[in-house]
Structure 1
Amino acid sequence: MTTTVREVTPEVQADALLAGAQFIDAFRVEIGATGVNAREACTRMVVDGPRWIEMLLRLRNILVRPFGLKTSGEGAPAPGGMIGLFPVLSETHERLVAGFDDSHLDFRIVVDVSGNAASRRVTSTTLVRTHNLLGRTYLTVIMPFHKLVVRNMMGRIVEPAR
């Protein structure tokens, strides 16, 4: 199966997920008959990713630590546990919401699985609400990497389970 990840118009109720979000985007991949729920799709996206994404996250953690920003694995325990470095905030079979609130910005990642058994698709939506100049600067700096990373992560959903 050829994996094509495409940017789509977000189809979530942004205010219900992150009121006041200033940034929102969504990417979708058709997965055919691949049987995954939202947690499995998210896990395939974020666990055991390519080294270059891992290196970007390590660099990010080193660069933001002096500013007092949260790094991977920090913060309060998540109601739904963790998937990779993302705290799971809520979950159904069809939708998983992960993310956290920090002093500079709040973010949510929403993974939706939809369609019928023969033609399923996964949509990943990112929402961000910035709080200050540091948050706006951070968002501007990571944006060129965001789309590249999300496209790569989404493409991994149709790969066999690890």
Structure 2
Amino acid sequence: MAPPQARDLTRVDFRDQHEGPAADAPLEELVLRLFRYRPRWVDIAMGVRHFLVRPFGLDTTSASDVPPSLDEGTRAGPFWILSVNPDEIVAGLDDRHLDFRVYLTKKQGLVVRTDVLFHNALGRIYFALIRLGHVWVVRSMLRGTAHARAA
């Protein structure tokens, strides 16, 4: 699957934002920690998700493949890295059912904002099913950034 062409979505159907604990580390290091830290239950949940969506042709790229640094146009787990600068890192994915962008910034801690654009009924149904899990996963991974190492 090719990286998304556009940085921002043309419309936002869902948006949420979560902030992790205070952290004294550069933005890229915090984002690498976020992408690398996953409690075991998240890996199990993602495995179940991949099994269930594979027949529908949805992206099932492993979340465990995170490079040593974040570069535009490369993958970090299931995300394409779309933009990297000192103040914001943008990741995302475009699929048949929905597109999403994850905006990563730093205030006192790492801030994760997720924007989602639905393309069809499958996108709405899919996201309705995973929405609660999305919140739990993001919050859990943010808590882990305080304890995880970048590499």
Taking structure 1 as the reference length, what is the TM-score of the superposition?
0.77
Higher Rg:
1
How far apart are 1:112 and its partner, in Å? Answer: 0.4
Letter in 2 for 1:140: A
How far apart are 1:70 and its partner, in Å? Answer: 1.4
CA distance in 1, matches of 2:25, 2:60: 32
| Residue of structure 2 in register with 1:100 after alignment | 93
CA distance in 1, matches of 2:96, 2:16: 22
Q: Structure 2 matches for 1:102-141, cutoff 5 A?
A: 102-114=95-107, 120-141=108-129
Alpha carbon RMSD of aligned pairs, Å?
A: 1.8
Higher strand content, 1 or 2: 1
Deviations 1:22-70 (A, max 9, x none): 00000012414x1222x22221112141111011111111111111111
CA distance in 2, matches of 1:153, 1:125: 13
Which 4+ runs in 1 deviate beyond 4 A? none
Structure 1 residues 148 and 29: alpha-carbon distance in aligned structure 2, compared to 1, 3 A threshold:
same
How far apart are 1:130 and its partner, in Å? Answer: 0.6
Letter in 2 for 1:51: R
Q: Identity of counterpart residues, as a percentage?
A: 34
Tell me if the contact between 2:34 and 2:145 (Cα under 8 Å) persists in the aligned partners. Answer: yes
Q: Which runs of 5+ in 1 are unaligned?
A: 1-15, 115-119
Taking structure 2 as the reference length, what is the TM-score of the superposition?
0.82
Tell me if the contact between 1:47 and 1:83 (Cα under 8 Å) persists in the aligned partners. Answer: no
Structure 1 residues 140 and 160: alpha-carbon distance in aligned structure 2, compared to 1, 3 A threshold:
closer
Tell me if the contact between 2:37 and 2:144 (Cα under 8 Å) persists in the aligned partners. Answer: no
| Residue of structure 2 in register with 1:27 after alignment | 18
Tell me if the contact between 2:82 and 2:91 (Cα under 8 Å) persists in the aligned partners. Answer: yes
Matched length: 136
CA distance in 2, matches of 1:19, 1:86: 19
